[in-house]
Structure 1
Amino acid sequence: MTFKTKGIVLRTVKYGETSVITTVYTELFGLQSYIVKGVRQSSKRSQGKGIFFQPAAILDLVVYHNELKNLNFIKDYQWGYLYDHVLFDVVKNAVAMYIVEMLHHCLKQPEANPELYYLAEDTLKQLDKGNATLTANLPLYFMLHLGGELGFRIQGGYEPSTPILDLHDGQFAEERPNHSYYLDGEQAKLTSELLAIHFYNDLENFKLNRNQRRLLLQAFQNYISLHVQDFGELKSLQVLQEVLS
């Protein structure tokens, strides 16, 4: 059977002489892998089609779906959203690649989660439209909300009575834990302020210096990795740190 679904391209590799295998996070079916035939042919009909399957592309898809198969086919595709800046701006592209790689490392099973899909799609669209400050803050915002959609939202907030953020337990606490995965002082307070932001536009007014952002990016990635089994190592963090500096 064929189904219409939105999808975000996470990864694409060559397959055979003219085709590709693309990993897509779909609205209807969660993480899926598809064969797309003929997109690497040199004919006029196929010329330029490869751009549809670069990471972070948002597509409207018609797909064949069989739950018993690990690899299905895409019947038809078109842009679901056409970027103005993400694919060409160095900083925005680095943020998009980080978001895409983060999704790829967190999603282990082909399980639908529409709210998480909408979070990822909305984040990429806001990245395309946003100013430089929003762009720099977006990975932090995304990781905190990603944790919430995956079932481990940070609980509580920074208060004089709870000045420590225990990243392992995912909550603000009274005292330092007996492990190294925690934030205190300025970093804990900034995290609490970020958690209180519910609208993307508010990120435009959230000021961080280079060192604050660097420390929070690493801490939030640690937080995600502590709660996702077999998370692995992200290659795009170092690139992101460099372009944001």
Structure 2
Amino acid sequence: MDIKSRAIVLSKLKFKDYDLIVKCYTKHRGAVSYLIKGGLKNSKTAKAKAVYFQPLSQLQIEEAYKVSRDLQYLKEVRPEYIYKSLHTNIYKGSIVLFLSELLTSVLQEEEKNEALYDYLESAFQYLDDVEAYSNFHLLFLLRLTQFLGFYPESSSESYTHFNLMTGQFESQPSGIYSISGKNLTLLKDLLGMDFEALQTIKITAQERQDFLNMLLYYFELHLGSFRKPKSLKILNEVFH
């Protein structure tokens, strides 16, 4: 069965001598892996094809779907949206590397979620356009938890602590999972914020790293298989 859809590239992996396995998040069926035959051959056609599969690229695809296959095949692929800076700006590139690795880990389900797809698509287009983006990944991850099922419960946002395990604000600290101080203040500032308002957030590089580490720990607590992306070190070095 041939299916046309939109897709966002999450990762690619060399397979055998010249082939690629590309994992995408698709609008029609969630996470899907494709076998790209000859994607690494030293020819103009192959090189042109491989360019399509850079991390977080947005594509228009036509797949030849068979329910019995673990790896699907693409009949046609072309750019859906061409980034202006995401793959050429070294600072944005570090965010792309980090987020693509994280999304590869957390988006495992072959299940349709158009709202999540639309969020990813619009967020990456915003990152491509904007000039102030050093805190983009913080808000991106926080808003991603809405789709993963553990967005902070904000009805008691005035409380003085936040419990990472329960995802709730508390009036008193309740153990090792309670946070307060600058991380709590920044969490409250980001809740309900849209990307356009990010420029109002003023924090140091160390505060940014501390909050990111807290967010990643939050992911670990709620997603059993989650591990910190290896590219975190590169991201921290670039934005230090």
TM, length-normalised to structure 2:
0.94
Deviation at 1:81, TM superposition (A): 1.1
Which blocks of at least 5 consecutive residues in structure 2 are unaligned? none
1:47 paired with 2:47, answer: yes
Paired position in structure 2 for 1:153: 151
Paired position in structure 1 for 2:71: 71
Paired position in structure 2 for 1:244: 239
- State the alpha-carbon separation in 2 of the partners of residues 35 and 142 from structure 1: 29
For structure 1, which segment, 214-223 or 9-18, has the greater mean C-alpha deviation from structure 2 after superposition? Answer: 9-18
1:91/1:244 contact within 8 Å kept: yes
1:192 paired with 2:188, answer: yes
1:158/1:189 contact within 8 Å kept: no
With over 3 angstroms needed to count, the CA separation of the structure-2 counterparts of 1:14 and 1:136, relative to structure 1, is same
Deviation at 1:110, TM superposition (A): 1.2
After TM superposition, the structure 1 = structure 2 runs for residues 1-245 of structure 1, keeping only pairs within 5 Å, are: 1-132=1-132, 135-156=133-154, 158-159=157-158, 162-179=159-176, 181-197=177-193, 199-245=194-240
Deviation at 1:2, TM superposition (A): 1.0
| SS of equivalent residue, structure 1 residue 46 | helix
Task: Provide Cα deviations, 1:22-79, integer angstroms capped at 9, x if missing partner.
Answer: 1111111111110112332233333332111121211111112223321110111011
| SS of equivalent residue, structure 1 residue 84 | coil
Deviation at 1:143, TM superposition (A): 0.9
1:144/1:153 contact within 8 Å kept: yes
1:4/1:60 contact within 8 Å kept: yes
- State the alpha-carbon separation in 1 of the partners of residues 171 and 198 from structure 2: 28
Deviation at 1:99, TM superposition (A): 1.4
Deviation at 1:113, TM superposition (A): 1.4
Q: AA paired with 2:50?
A: G
Identity of aligned residues (%): 28
| SS of equivalent residue, structure 1 residue 127 | helix
Deviation at 1:221, TM superposition (A): 0.9
Runs of 4+ in 1 over 4 A off after TM superposition: none
For structure 1, which segment, 90-99 or 115-124, has the greater mean C-alpha deviation from structure 2 after superposition? Answer: 115-124
Deviation at 1:234, TM superposition (A): 1.2
For structure 1, which segment, 146-155 or 58-67, has the greater mean C-alpha deviation from structure 2 after superposition? Answer: 58-67
Deviation at 1:95, TM superposition (A): 0.7
Q: AA paired with 2:226?
A: F
1:131/1:204 contact within 8 Å kept: no
Deviation at 1:84, TM superposition (A): 0.9
How many residues end up aligned between the 2 structures? 239
- State the alpha-carbon separation in 2 of the partners of residues 131 and 223 from structure 1: 28
Q: AA paired with 1:200?
A: F
Deviation at 1:233, TM superposition (A): 3.0
Q: AA paired with 2:33?
A: S
1:20/1:36 contact within 8 Å kept: yes
Deviation at 1:18, TM superposition (A): 3.0
- State the alpha-carbon separation in 2 of the partners of residues 226 and 16 from structure 1: 36
What root-mean-square deviation, in Å, do the aligned CA atoms of Structure 1 and Structure 2 show? 1.5
| SS of equivalent residue, structure 2 residue 45 | coil
1:143/1:224 contact within 8 Å kept: no
1:40/1:46 contact within 8 Å kept: yes
Deviation at 1:111, TM superposition (A): 1.6
- State the alpha-carbon separation in 1 of the partners of residues 167 and 102 from structure 2: 18
Deviation at 1:189, TM superposition (A): 1.6
